[in-house]
Amino acid sequence: MTLGEKLKKARINKNFTQEYLAEVLSVSQKTYSNFENDKSKPDFSQVEEISKLLEVSVLDFLSSDGMSFNYENTHGGNNGFIYQNQLPEKLIEQYEQRLKDKDTEIAYLRKLIDKN
């Protein structure tokens, strides 16, 4: 399943319109439509924002075709997702780096708070 297909399925599952997501992301409806039709790709920060709105993990959106949606599962377990393959190593590295960057930022902000 492509990123666009995943975005569309998750959006429909939440009963959101393309117009609503486009407005929240500060892009045109046409731009968001291009994301769902795999004509263009959202940047990582946009994927993060979409994942929050649609309550889907960023990794679920960015994983390879080994992930499929199962919206019939509403009783916990795997939260409606079926995992078939491992995530690509490069994606894992990028996500881990982002987490490290956030930890560094948090440590810096804590130091600022402690000074006051």
Residue 82 has pLDDT above 70, yes or no: no
What is the structure's pLDDT at 64?
62
Q: Are 63 and 11 members of one domain? A: yes
Q: Are 97 and 67 members of one domain? A: no
Instruction: Residue 22: name the closest of 64, 58, 53 by CA.
Output: 53
Q: Do the bridges between strand 67-69 and strand 81-83 make them parallel or antiparallel, or are there none, so unpaired?
A: antiparallel
Q: Write the CATH number for 41.
A: 1.10.260.40
What is the per-residue pLDDT across 51-60, written as a single tens digit (0 to 9) for each? Answer: 999 988 888 8
Q: Are 20 and 31 members of one domain? A: yes
Number of domains present in the structure of the chain: 2
Can you tell me the mean pLDDT for 9-25? 92
What is the structure's pLDDT at 87?
56
Per DSSP, what are the bridge partners of residue 67? 83
What is the per-residue pLDDT across 83-100, written as a single tens digit (0 to 9) for each? Answer: 444 556 777 777 788 888
What is the structure's pLDDT at 27?
93
- One-letter amino acid for residue 101 of the chain: D
